[in-house]
Amino acid sequence: MYKETLVKMFKFLANSEHPSLGPHLYLLGLTGIWQPDQKIVATRIKMFIFYVIVAFFSSQYIKCIFDLKKESLQLILQYAPFHLGIVKACFFRKECDTWALLINYLSQVECKQIEEEERKMIQIMQNYIRCNRRVTYFFWALAFFSNFSIFSEPYFKNRIVENGTSIYLNIFDAFVPFSSEPPGYYVSMTIQTILGHIVSAYVIGWDTMVAAIMIFFAGQLKMSRMYATEVVKSDAVEIHQNIANCHKFHVELIKFQMIFNDLISPVMFVYLIVISVNLGVCIIQIVQVQDDLAMLISSCLFVVACLIQLLLFYWFSNEVTEESVKVSYGAFESDWVKCDKAVQKEIHLLGLILSKRLVFKAGPFNEMSLTTFVFILRTSYSFYTLLNKTN
């Protein structure tokens, strides 16, 4: 009954083997960076495209090294989130076995809980999967409209004429064997647009999956608290078994939370640095826009998308931290006062063990929390004022 309810609620891109991560694995599989079966021809084609995209974006940095231009550097800073997509995809491919281990753990836990058909567990799962889907589909829609404005922006600027010479702008200043003026320019822009959309899929696939896993951990910490609340039964033997099961579940949860943190921490550290600079650059562009409403809307939409993307991680990371400190409450919300002293000591010890505070980190020092998010905004503004004074 409960399993059918879950399937009906989330049938769009749902996967019965991966209740939380079905849509995310579908998108990552479509792009090619999540491919458990490497022997399929389609997988090899997607991986070839992935290597072409990495080479394409790498050529932009090589051009900057050998022929440094202000415009090229500005393009890299302006479209930094796309470049971060390559970083995310490369880290994902590098640690694909660990990601597979983590994903299998998440799915096994959820499938087991669905099979148990316990009403409270199903209710918690329905709530956090519903939150997962809302965030995912909203972010996908936001990325779609943001991409539309980003890839159409150069064409509006191409109308600029200086000294009788037309200026044709690019999205990425990578190496392409075509002329910088029409008709070669349009061929080049077509290639940039196609590869840019693929990289955008890398970004939103990785970002929404990371957010979904954070939502999973927050939901499962609520489950852990519920398990602790219900450890006390009439039979002493059953109480001991419930305490052992609750402890085992929480320890496993902490183990995979730490694995997940190790997977995302390096990427988040790079993201922390790049997005702070990128936001400052975008704000300067918005300030400098004059008598160009389309450009202003496009730039504002891009900044909003970057802020939402950043807030996505720090909000749900903060939620995991908050839920982790509440788990121990469950032990003392149980009927422990009715137990004998030996069992009370075990429950108190369980409460102490469950009180571990879980955090996600961007690099070795920066804790991902709402406080850090506000600090990033302040840093971006400081960078904006610095660049504005040097202009």
Computed over every residue of the chain, the mean pLDDT equals 81
Q: Which of 8-22, 66-80, 152-166, 217-231 has the lowest mean pLDDT?
A: 152-166
Question: Highest mean pLDDT range out of 175-189, 237-251, 333-347?
Answer: 237-251
In the predicted structure, residue 48 carries a pLDDT above the cut 80 = yes
Per-domain boundaries in the chain: 2-390
> How large a percentage of the chain has pLDDT more than 70?
81
The Cα 197–Cα 151 span in angstroms is: 9
Q: What is the pLDDT of residue 290?
A: 62
List CB contacts of 271: < 8 A, sequence separation 6 or more. 84, 310, 362
Each residue of 128-180: pLDDT tens digit? 999 999 888 888 887 877 777 777 767 666 655 655 566 776 777 777 777 67
- 87 token code pair: 């970083």
Beta strands in 270-388 (DSSP E): 361-362, 366-367
Q: Are strands 161-162 and 165-166 parallel, antiparallel or unpaired?
A: antiparallel
- Average pLDDT (24-28) is 89
The Cα 207–Cα 275 span in angstroms is: 14
> How large a percentage of the chain has pLDDT more than 90?
19
What burial letters (b/e) apply to 207-223, b meaning 16+ CB within 10 Å?
A: bbbbbbbbbbbbbbbbb
Q: What is the pLDDT of residue 148?
A: 74
Q: What is the pLDDT of residue 261?
A: 94
Cβ–Cβ < 8 Å for 114, 19: yes
Cβ–Cβ < 8 Å for 69, 169: no
The Cα 391–Cα 387 span in angstroms is: 6
**Helix (H, G, I), strand (E, B), or coil: what is residue 366?**
strand
In the predicted structure, residue 9 carries a pLDDT above the cut 50 = no
The Cα 253–Cα 258 span in angstroms is: 9
Name the band, by pLDDT with cuts 50, 70 and 90, for residue 181. Answer: confident
More confident: 41 or 281? 41
- Average pLDDT (97-101) is 93
Cβ–Cβ < 8 Å for 247, 275: no
More confident: 201 or 181? 201
The Cα 107–Cα 129 span in angstroms is: 12
Name the band, by pLDDT with cuts 50, 70 and 90, for residue 53. Answer: confident
The Cα 204–Cα 27 span in angstroms is: 9
